[in-house]
Amino acid sequence: MAKLTEIARQAGVSVSVVSRVLNGDPTVRAREETRQRVLQVAKELNYTANYAGRALRLARSKALALITPNVSSPLFADLLAGATQAAEEADYTVLIGLADTITAGSDTLRRLVGEGRVDGFVLQRHDDLSDQALESLVANDARVVLVTSRTPGRRGSVVLDDVTGAKLATEHLIALGHKRIALIGGVPHSDIARRREHGYALALHEAGLRRRESLVCRLGYTPEAAERAIESLLGTGARPTGVVVANVNGAIGALTALRRAGVDVPSEISVVAYHDEWVAEHTWPALTTVKMPYYQVGLQAVRSLIDQLGGKPAQDLVVREPKPELVLRSSTAPPKTA
Amino acid sequence: MAKLTEIARQAGVSVSVVSRVLNGDPTVRAREETRQRVLQVAKELNYTANYAGRALRLARSKALALITPNVSSPLFADLLAGATQAAEEADYTVLIGLADTITAGSDTLRRLVGEGRVDGFVLQRHDDLSDQALESLVANDARVVLVTSRTPGRRGSVVLDDVTGAKLATEHLIALGHKRIALIGGVPHSDIARRREHGYALALHEAGLRRRESLVCRLGYTPEAAERAIESLLGTGARPTGVVVANVNGAIGALTALRRAGVDVPSEISVVAYHDEWVAEHTWPALTTVKMPYYQVGLQAVRSLIDQLGGKPAQDLVVREPKPELVLRSSTAPPKTA
DNA sequence: GGGCTGGGAGCAATCGTTTTTTCAGGGAAG
DNA sequence: CTTCCCTGAAAAAACGATTGCTCCCAGCCC
C-alpha cells in the first residue's frame, strides 16, 4: 500500500502538505496547482490512509460496535442497515458483537473500548439484562446508546414508539369487534414490555373495554413462551377472541400452539403480532402484524452516538416516523357472533 | 487507559521489558522477581494493549471480516458462532460486513484491507456473484476463504458436504416409497446448486429411479422462486409426489404455494428441505429437513484463513463432520398408493 | 534599506508498541 | 591481571499519519 511519504516523494512535496491536502485541511497553504498534483498522485497510487497510524495519532478508531443478543432476525437486519448507513455518512465502521458471548462477568466490551478498537457502542440488550448488569459490562466512561430499550442515567437511548405500535395492534382487533382481547407480552421487568402493555391498555381504555388481568401473559418473546401463554389462556374460563402478541416470533409460536389445540385462526381466535418480518407472510394463516421502523432506530442510534462522541450530551430519543403500520394478512377477522 | 510507559515507571523497569514480559517473549531476560513485579503492576493498572499502536508496529490488525449477503438467517448465526469461536482461539476479532452494500464497483473490501482494518476475509457470496465479479471485488493479494461456495484459483474455501446432504434428503423420500421426486434447486451457474443437484441425482440413480428433467427447477433459493417452481411443477402432466427443496427458505415458500393451490402436504405431496432452522418447526405442516453443520464451516473457515495469514497455502476443505442429519417432522409421508 | 506581512512549504514531535541493539557489571577462564 | 562471556536491563529505532511551528522568500511601506 502506498504511504504518505511515497506520495510526497512522487509529488515533490513534504508529507505534511500531502496529509493536509488529502484531509481538506482549510489551513493548508499550497498553490492550487500543487494541490491538484498531490490529489493526482494519490489517486494514481490508489492511496488509502493506514488505519492504525491514523487511529494511533488521533486516539480515535472511527469504529463503533453494534451489540445484539441475536443477529438472526430480519428486524436486526433492518437495524443494522440503518446503523451502517449512518456510520457511512460519518465515515465510521460498524463492528457487530454477539451479546450471548457477553455474559455477566465478561470484559469483552471493556476491552473493545480499552484497546481502542471502537469508540462507542450501540447496545441492544437482552430482555433479561438488568440496568445494573448493563452498567457492570461497560466501562464507566464508555459512550453507549441503547436501542429499543432505555436505562435510567446518563446513557443515551433510541426506542420505538412502542405505545403507539401496541395500541395500533389492539385497536385493529377492537375495530373488528373483539371485546375479550388478550396480550402476550414480554417479561415484567422490561421497560419495552411495559410500554407495549401500556399501549394495549390505552386502546382498551379508550374503547371503554375492561382490562382483565387474567388475559395478560408476561412470559417473554420466544415462541416457546408464547406457546405456554396460549395454553394458559385457553385454560381460563372466558377465552379471549383476539390476541395481541408483542413480538412476531412469539406470534409464530402462538399459531403453533393454537393449531395444536385445534383452535382455528382467525375464526375462533384472531392473532395480531407486533413487528413484521418476511416469514409472517408464510405462516398459516399469514400473520397480520404491525410494522415498526427499525431501520430508523439504527440510523438515529448511530447518529446519536456519533454526536455523543463529538461531545454532545447523551439523548433519549423516540422514533415516531415512519409511523407504525398495520400489515393486514389473514390471522385476524371479526369474532364469531356469540 | 494505562500505557506501557506507565507500567514501566511504576515497576521501575523500561518499557521494553514490560512489553516482552506481557507478551510472554521467551527470549526476555529478566529476573523472575522482576517479571512478577511487572505482571503485578499490569494487573493492578488493568492494562490492555492499545490496539492501534500494536497494529501499526506489527502491520497486522488481528481482525478479519466475515462478509455475507444476509445476516438475518439462523444459518448465518451458526456460521458466525463458529467463526467467532475460532477467532477467539487465535486472539482475532471478527467484523461483519454486509454484501448487499458491496456492489460490483464497490471498493469496500479493498479499503478494508487497504486501510489495514482487517487481515483477511471469510466470504459468503451471493448466488449471483460470479467468479470474475468476486475477483474484481477483492485486492489481488488479499487473503480470502470462501464459505459454502468454491472458486477456481488460489482462494481458499470451506464448503458443506452438499452431495451427501441432498442425497440424504432424497433418500428419505425414496425410503418412504416415492418414485416421482422433484428438485427445487438453486440457480444453474452456482457450484452449490450443482453439488446439491448431484446428490439428488445420485440418490435417484442408486435407487434405480429415472431422473426427469421436467422435475428439476433451477430458480434459486428464495421463497418467491420456490413458489414459482411449485406452480410450474403442478402444471406438468405427471405431478411429483415428493419434492426436495434445496433451501429451507424456499421450502417455506413452497408450502405457501402448495397451500394456495389446495394441495395437501404431506398426503398429496411430501416436502423435505435442505437446511434446518427454528422456523421449520413452526410452519404448517412442520418441515422435515436435513440439518447441515454450519457452525463447523465457520470454525474451519476462520482457522483456514488464519493458517493462510500465517503463510500456509490456501486450502479447499469439505466439512463432513458432524454428518448431515435428517430432522423428521410432518411434511413428509408415504405417497398415496395410486 | 530595514522592518513587516503573508504566502508557500517543510520540520519534527507525537501517538503506544515491538524489537533490535547497546551497555554495564560481574564472574570465570586463561 | 586481562579477556571473554553472560546476565539483566535500558536505549533507541521503527510503524504511518497528523499538526503546531518554524523557516524562507518576495514584495511593500516608510
Domain ranges in chain A with CATH number 1.10.260.40 = 4-49
pLDDT at B132: 86
What's the whole-number mean pLDDT along residues A118-135? 89
Q: Which nucleotides of D are covered by protein (CB under 7 A)?
A: 7-12, 14-20
- Give A111's contacts in chain B (Cβ within 8 Å): 48
**CA–C1' distance A251–D9 (Å)?**
67
What's the whole-number mean pLDDT along residues A232-236? 89
Distance CA A16, CA A36 (A): 15
Cell numbers for A50, please give them: 493506514
pLDDT at B103: 62
Per-residue pLDDT band for A104 (boundaries 50, 70, 90) equals low
Yes or no, beta carbons of B48 and A111 under 8 Å apart: yes
Minimum distance, in Å, between the CA of residue A252 and any CA atom of chain B: 7
Per-residue pLDDT band for A29 (boundaries 50, 70, 90) equals confident
Q: Minimum mean pLDDT among A256-270, B97-111, B120-134, B145-159: which range?
A: B97-111
| Best mutation target, B48, B94, B98, B118, to test chain A (most A CBs within 10 A) | B48
What's the whole-number mean pLDDT along residues B10-26? 88
Q: Minimum mean pLDDT among A96-100, A252-256, B139-143, B327-331: which range?
A: A96-100
pLDDT at B101: 62
pLDDT, greater one: B133 or A249: A249
CATH 1.10.760.10 for domain B4-49: no
Residue A328 pLDDT exceeds 80: yes
Residues of chain B with pLDDT > 90: what percent? 63
Q: Which residue of A has its CA nearest to B50?
A: A115
What's the whole-number mean pLDDT along residues B129-137? 85
Yes or no, beta carbons of A96 and B93 under 8 Å apart: no
Domain A162-291, what fold?
Rossmann fold (3.40.50)
Q: Minimum mean pLDDT among A23-32, A36-45, A102-111, B236-245: which range?
A: A102-111
Residue A300 pLDDT exceeds 60: yes
Residue A324: strand, helix, or coil = coil
Judge if the upstream peptide bond of residue A334 is cis by omega within 30 degrees of 0.
Answer: no
A65 Cβ partners below 8 Å, 6+ apart? A94, A95, A96, A97, A109, A112, A117, A118, A120, A121, A122
Yes or no, beta carbons of A52 and B61 under 8 Å apart: yes
Nearest Cβ partner for A1 among B76, B114, B223: B114
Domain ranges in chain B with CATH number 3.40.50.2300 = 59-160+294-319, 162-291
Burial class of A330 by CB neighbour count within 10 A (0 to 12, 13 to 18, 19+): middle
pLDDT at B105: 60
CA angle B331, B332, B338 (to 5 degrees): 125
**B126 touches B106 (CB < 8 A):** no
CATH superfamily of B59-160+294-319: Response regulator (3.40.50.2300)
Residue A129's Cα: distance from chain center in Å?
A: 16
What's the whole-number mean pLDDT along residues A23-46? 85
Residue B104 pLDDT exceeds 70: no
Residue B174: strand, helix, or coil = helix
Residue A102 pLDDT exceeds 70: no
What's the whole-number mean pLDDT along residues A163-167? 97
| Best mutation target, A72, A221, A281, to test chain B (most B CBs within 10 A) | A72
**B170 touches B330 (CB < 8 A):** no
- Give B282's contacts in chain A (Cβ within 8 Å): 223, 252-253, 255-256, 283
CA angle A332, A236, A238 (to 5 degrees): 60
What mean pLDDT is reported for chain B? 91
- The H or E element containing residue B291 is strand B288-291
Residue B188 pLDDT exceeds 70: yes
pLDDT tens digit sequence for B221-267: 999 999 999 999 998 778 899 999 999 999 999 999 999 999 998 99
Distance CA B204, CA B202 (A): 5
A17 Cβ partners below 8 Å, 6+ apart? A8, A28, A30, A34, A38
pLDDT at A190: 92
Nearest Cβ partner for B279 among A48, A101, A252: A252
pLDDT at B83: 94
Q: Which nucleotides of C are covered by protein (CB under 7 A)?
A: 7-12, 14-20
pLDDT at A154: 83
Sign of CA dihedral B271, B272, B274, B276: positive
Minimum distance, in Å, between the CA of residue A160 and any CA atom of chain B: 20
Q: Minimum mean pLDDT among A323-327, B118-122, B133-137: which range?
A: B133-137
Minimum distance, in Å, between the CA of residue B207 and any CA atom of chain A: 34
pLDDT tens digit sequence for B29-58: 788 888 888 898 999 898 989 999 999 999
Q: Minimum mean pLDDT among A226-240, A249-263, B84-98, B104-118: which range?
A: B104-118
